[in-house]
Amino acid sequence: MDKSLFRRFASVIRSLSANELAGAPSLYEKLTLAEQGSLRVCYAPFEYINPKARVVLVGITPGRTQMLNALKEARRQLDQGAADDTVLREAKATGAFSGPMRPNLTGLLDAVGIQRWLGIDSCSELFESAAHLVQTTSVLRNPVFVDGENYNGVPNMTKNPLLREQLTAYFTEDVAALPEAVFVPLGGKVTEALHFLADKGLMDRARILDGLPHPSGANAERIAYFLGRKSRHELSAKTNPDKLEEARKNLQQRVLALA
């Protein structure tokens, strides 16, 4: 775990005002890592890597809320005199896939058998007693904003020079540090990024378990069908049941093969 960025910004985090910790514009100026046109990359303390993780849940980039929560926790730990590793571990753990997304995510993981491969009853335990088995991360580790708004995949991170550099410079540290883990991308943009890295020889394609519907609440119908909670005749025209069934079957077979 490379802590050079944290050491560079620790004194900045200690000096942040209450307004800045709540998201005042000066916060982003103080934490800017890189800028290009409408893009701004800000530092947030998300470096921690769980060395025992067997499954890595990969989002696109931390959003504003995750960034602020992590900074507040890092500040609290720093004020208590915690060691660097503790600060980073606790900051990373704060709010990981919290809210309504978490039950969707754990249900999808259970549906393809990840819990059996890990030897637990349910993947909900990954956020409780089995937290030592999981790493949560993002392909763009540090928060990215476009015109001040959360990055949503546009511009394409594999084609934009600034974002491609962020992807290859930081996410590959997670890949190298977890040689036995499998990586579960959440969403098509993340899947594309992982396959881009595999094409470049920066990660093993066999370790990418892609095909799950994104666990966002906005994806409720596809999730419901994938989990067997909605029948084919109840689906709207926007949902392709054959594609979902094929993805589920493929993932179940790949997880069985891991054992």
Q: Is the pLDDT of residue 217 over 70?
A: yes
pLDDT at residue 101, rounded to an integer: 84
Q: Tokens in use for 129?
A: 């007693």
List phi, psi (to 5°) of 194. Answer: -65, -40
Q: Letter for the amino acid at 126?
A: L
Task: Output the pLDDT for position 2.
Answer: 83
φ/ψ region of 41 (left if φ > 0, alpha if ψ in -120 to 50, else beta) reads: beta
Burial class (CB in 10 A: 0-12, 13-18, 19+), 227: middle
Looking at every residue in the chain, the average pLDDT score rounds to 93
The Cα–Cα gap between 174 and 135 comes to: 9
114-125: pLDDT as tens digits: 999 999 999 999
Per-residue pLDDT, 95: 66
Where residue 218 falls among pLDDT bands split at 50, 70, 90? confident
Write the pLDDT tens digit of every residue in 82-139.
Answer: 999 999 999 998 867 766 788 999 999 999 999 999 999 999 999 889 999 999 999 9
